[in-house]
Structure 1
């Protein structure tokens, strides 16, 4: 015998339909970090770096780097070689020429002061030839044909004394810092060569 299935509808009293609560989707809270610097600061730093770069390029293009050969001293736009050996004035000038320079021509008090300090260093000889000489006594000439200016000369006290046999000029190491030129015989002394500094 077949069983019958009976369906019934049951209703419960005092029941209510569950209220559906709509919850908005969860929003991420943006964390706010306090700024440690003003927002315009990176722009200012970038601008300053750009200006520094422009200034460096301008200086390098206008002036460039000034270089001197190894063992030479640089001052302003020139390079100076102070020798450790002694030779005659003519051989000294020839030696300087062979290095692409000439015996030093002193054009200013600043240059004279620089050279005077250099020759006073302990390892230097007593006298250093400069590029000033006289064919006839009292007629002083620079090796590069710069006119000799009596008011811009740095003679020791009592110099030049004009004896006929002293026609070359040296910076005397033990004299005062500024007035230390002495005219001497053109025999064996150290020398100072001068060349223009190389600009790269």
Structure 2
């Protein structure tokens, strides 16, 4: 059977109505550009793929420039480790890249609203409590009243206490069962080489058995005080995920 041929009618200006151009459709499939090359068609999804790759590169650059801070929810859900008491109390966290190359864990996280320094998280309260209640409050959040182990840590806390919205006195985890016998919450005696008393402090009197950081720009800003209502600093180990 002979193949079927389709004819197309083309009308030209000033041409007679009877003029008919017979062009087989197969001819269109072999049209060439003036330079003799075939028309090249790209996949429709290719521009979208290129745009997506450029967007991902931009996001990576922004994260790097901002110090790689992210906000996450319940970071312990990414780890097979048993969550700590701090992790069980909070769901929103602020994390920063820990720079742990070649390891599965690479983010250091503190609860939202806490301040991070090195491997610890700190909470500076807005309200005041007596010493015993301050210990209970910090413990209830999976932390403890701050223990200061270095001048760098003392400098960090001094800077935080001196923020415009802060109170005047903040409990740290140092107290005395007997006059002059200062020790931290874990019963470790105070190392006088890492002590930051104000001038003429401590008073070492029976009525003043607790210690606060006094709001003062100087690094040496510890006062012994009555164990009455003061603000507090809670400390906990930062979470690594």
Q: Structure 1 length normalisation: TM-score? A: 0.69
Give the deviation of 1:58 after TM superposition.
Answer: 5.3
**Secondary structure at the counterpart of residue 159 of structure 2:** helix
Assess, with a 3 A threshold, how the Cα gap between structure 1 residues 60 and 118 changes in structure 2: closer, same or farther: farther
Give the deviation of 1:144 after TM superposition.
Answer: 2.5
Assess, with a 3 A threshold, how the Cα gap between structure 1 residues 57 and 116 changes in structure 2: closer, same or farther: closer
Assess, with a 3 A threshold, how the Cα gap between structure 1 residues 75 and 62 changes in structure 2: closer, same or farther: farther
Number of residue pairs aligned between Structure 1 and Structure 2: 145
Aligned to 1:75: 117
Q: What are the Cα deviations for residues 22-73 of structure 1, in whole angstroms up to 9, with x where unaligned?
A: xxxxxxxxxxxxxxxxxxxxxxxxxxxxxxxxxx995261762110001100
1:139-178 equivalences in 2 (<5 Å): 139-173=181-215, 175-178=216-219
**Higher RCO (CA 8 Å, separation ≥ 6 residues):** 1
Is the contact between residue 117 and residue 177 of structure 1 (CA under 8 Å) also seen in structure 2?
no
Where does the alignment leave 5 or more consecutive residues of structure 2 unmatched?
Answer: 1-97
Aligned to 1:190: 231
1:83-122 equivalences in 2 (<5 Å): 83-122=125-164
Aligned to 1:180: 221
1:126 aligns to 2:168 (yes or no): yes
Where does the alignment leave 5 or more consecutive residues of structure 1 unmatched?
Answer: 1-55
Separation in 1 of the partners of 2:162 and 2:201? 20
CA-atom RMSD, angstroms? 1.9
After TM superposition, the structure 1 stretch with the greater mean CA deviation from structure 2, 142-151 or 98-107, is 142-151
Separation in 1 of the partners of 2:114 and 2:186? 20
Q: What are the Cα deviations for residues 64-102 of structure 1, in whole angstroms up to 9, with x where unaligned?
A: 211000110000000000000000011001100000000
After TM superposition, the structure 1 stretch with the greater mean CA deviation from structure 2, 123-132 or 136-145, is 136-145
Separation in 2 of the partners of 1:181 and 1:58? 36
Is the contact between residue 171 and residue 181 of structure 1 (CA under 8 Å) also seen in structure 2?
yes
Q: Which runs of 4+ in 1 moved over 6 A?
A: none
Separation in 2 of the partners of 1:171 and 1:87? 15
Is the contact between residue 104 and residue 193 of structure 1 (CA under 8 Å) also seen in structure 2?
yes
Assess, with a 3 A threshold, how the Cα gap between structure 1 residues 62 and 108 changes in structure 2: closer, same or farther: farther
Q: What are the Cα deviations for residues 145-185 of structure 1, in whole angstroms up to 9, with x where unaligned?
A: 33310121000000001111000000000x34200000000
Separation in 2 of the partners of 1:57 and 1:89? 38
Higher-Rg structure is 1
**Secondary structure at the counterpart of residue 171 of structure 2:** strand
